[in-house]
A and B are shown apart, each in its own frame.
Chain A
Amino acid sequence: SAVISQKPSRDICQRGTSLTIQCQVDSQVTMMFWYRQQPGQSLTLIATANQGSEATYESGFVIDKFPISRPNLTFSTLTVSNMSPEDSSIYLCSASGQNYNEQFFGPGTRLTVL
């Protein structure tokens, strides 16, 4: 199994600012993903973070709003840009290795935008 850490664990931000969330995995993984969980809701996939190339975004999510980096096989960042109160959510990083049936999640970053 993989152990995933995220920083920060929570933050309170002002409208119009940006926040970068870091995701670190303790071993090399094949796939990394970013999800959003709005209050009281299920998880929605934002994008797949691809190592060495641009992320693959799901419908409704764009690179200008959620730029993603993945410089190596164990690390990824998600930036929430020009934040508004509607961006208040938990953002979760996940990863899977060669066995795509095993996907592990980080503890999440709880973001509140005022």
Chain B
Amino acid sequence: GNSVTQMEGPVTLSEEAFLTINCTYTATGYPSLFWYVQYPGEGLQLLLKATKADDKGSNKGFEATYRKETTSFHLEKGSVQVSDSAVYFCALISGSARQLTFGSGTQLTVLP
């Protein structure tokens, strides 16, 4: 079956620090990969996605590259802001399934 493993949190960084949140996956076939963000008290928002190997998804300064050889989709940002404090979820869709499989989520807190 499909599964997503995320770096455990919580992660606490100072403003302008470099962020990496690791994500690896197991899937049948060729999955599409996603990062979702959940700000405090809100629902999920799609942050970025990649649908095939070597694709790079990017949005709001965040980036993630679909690495088939390492089955990974790590999220990075060069300089985080306080407003980036949220929970980040890695997820995939694969095969005939149309629903998302989520990782456990990583809580990020950015301090001023």
Considering the complex, give the chain A residue whose CB is closest to the CB of B4. A42
A100 contacts across to B, CB distance below 8 A: 93, 98
Q: Which 9 A-B pairs have the closest CB atoms?
A: A107-B43, A105-B44, A108-B43, A101-B32, A42-B102, A43-B102, A42-B104, A105-B43, A42-B105
| CB of A28, distance to nearest CB on chain B (Å) | 16
Residues of A within 8 A of B (CB): 31, 33, 41-43, 45, 48, 92, 94, 96, 100-108
Contact B104 A101 (CB under 8 A): no
A33 contacts across to B, CB distance below 8 A: 99
Given contacts A101-B49, A104-B46, 10 further A-B contacts (CB under 8 A): A31-B98, A45-B100, A92-B43, A94-B44, A103-B34, A103-B93, A105-B36, A107-B42, A108-B42, A108-B43
A31 contacts across to B, CB distance below 8 A: 98-99
**B45 on the interface (CB 8 Å rule)?**
yes
Contact B46 A103 (CB under 8 A): yes
B105 contacts across to A, CB distance below 8 A: 41-42
| CB of A105, distance to nearest CB on chain B (Å) | 4
**B89 on the interface (CB 8 Å rule)?**
yes
